[in-house]
Copies of this chain bind each other. A is one copy, B any other.
Amino acid sequence: MSQPFSCSHDQHDHCVDAALTAAERLCREQRLRLTPLRRKILTLIWQSHRPVGAYDLLEILQKEGRAAPPTVYRTLDFLLESGLVHRLATRNAYFGCTRPGQDHAGHVLICESCHVLAEIDSADVVRQIDASADAFGFEVRRQTVEVSGLCPRCRQEADHAC
């Protein structure tokens, strides 16, 4: 799987394939059921490196038959709980996890211009947050870190425009 910020359209099938392979493996190992619906939704989420809204997913499903919100949300719940996707709180949207199975904080960078998202996995950030919390006597259970700004590609385009 290439880096989201440098993944081009013709490379992208690899990302989807890799994500599905990883999902199959994880579900086999943890005795979870990757049903057709779950596989479908996971695939849809991986169609781009952008977060996708629940109702976007619903709309796509509805083009191929009837579907209602709970179907989507239940499937998302499964994917979230099994760690195959994460939720982007600042945008009420969902995106595929790049390292399912591995315990990690799920910090992300998200581009305000093209909306491409990348998970960063900075142990330094995690530690620094833990340390800051610790100074308050606070016990950290979950870190939500969502950084918005400009991805390298959009930055370059912005420069050229000047």
Copies in the complex: 2
Interface centre among A136, A148, A155 (most CB of B within 10 A): A136
Chain A 144-157 interface 0/1 with B at a Cβ cutoff of 8 Å (1 = within): 11111111100100
Q: Is the CB of A139 within 8 A of B122?
A: no
Kindly state whether residue A125 has any CB partner on chain B within 8 Å: yes
Given A3-B136, A5-B136, A125-B125, 13 additional A-B pairs, CB 8 A: A89-B89, A89-B144, A111-B138, A120-B133, A120-B136, A125-B129, A133-B147, A136-B152, A142-B148, A143-B145, A143-B147, A144-B146, A144-B147
Q: How many residues of A contact B (CB 8 A)?
A: 36
Question: Provided the pairs A144-B145, A149-B142, A150-B141 are in contact, do residues A125 and B132 lie with their beta carbons within 8 angstroms?
Answer: yes
Chain A residues packing against B (C-beta within 8 Å): 3, 5, 89-90, 107, 109, 111-112, 118, 120, 122, 124-125, 128-129, 131-133, 136-152, 155
CB of A108, distance to nearest CB on chain B (Å): 10
